[in-house]
Amino acid sequence: MRFGRRLFSTSLSRNDGIALSSFDETQADDVGQFGLRGLHRPSDWSKISSQCIEQCNALVTKCSTGSTVSPIVLQHLDALSDTLCRVVDCAELCRNVHPDPDFRSAADYAFSEVGAYMQGLNAHAALYDALVKLEASDYELSAEERLMSASLRKDFEQGGIK
């Protein structure tokens, strides 16, 4: 799977309370540079990248250790991609355009850290297995869910899984 590219801009209809509040740009109380919540000084990049990875680890766990097969896996994978993109895209922009070299350096480190994590997810067998189990299940997936699942599975397979 190629995490880091946004697959679908709409939310899937099923919801289990996924909250990505650390990166919710709609919360006006702490909007920082580049619209990223909490980004006010170079040292914030370290905290943001750590929070991103922590949230992604929780989503990976939800996808890969669930004993029941459910289409919610697709929502978790979409949230995973969104969480990664929010940080990586802002870090990429910051490291290329910010006038402060300290900001650029910190953003470069965050970009590298989250990017390396993302590469590991692109070859994560348990995430692939969750998709395969979902596709083999008795769930009636919507057209959007079938398309998303097939696209994700294909990305994993093209990346060397299976």
Q: Domain boundaries in the chain?
A: 21-158
Which phi and psi (to 5°) does residue 31 adopt? -65, 125
For residue 3, the model assigns a pLDDT of 58
Exposed / middle / buried, residue 5 (Cβ in 10 Å: 0-12, 13-18, 19+):
exposed
Residue 53: its pLDDT value, please? 98
* CA atoms of 40 and 52, how far apart (whole Å): 17
Q: What is the pTM of this model?
A: 0.81
Tens of pLDDT along 75-125? 999 999 999 999 999 999 999 999 999 999 999 999 999 999 999 998 899
CB 106 within 8 A of CB 78: no
Instruction: Tell me what pLDDT residue 160 has.
Output: 85
Per-residue pLDDT tens digits for 125-155:
999 999 999 999 988 999 999 999 999 999 8
pLDDT at 30: 80
Query: Average pLDDT of the chain?
Result: 85
pLDDT (0 to 100) of residue 18: 38
Give helix 72-97 / helix 101-121 axis angle, nearest 10°.
150
Q: Which residue has the higher pLDDT, 78 or 19?
A: 78
CATH top class, domain 21-158: mainly alpha
DSSP 46-84: HHHHHHHHHHHHHHHHHHHS-SS--THHHHHHHHHHHHH
The yes-or-no verdict on residue 61 having pLDDT over 80 is: yes
Three-state DSSP class for residue 99: coil
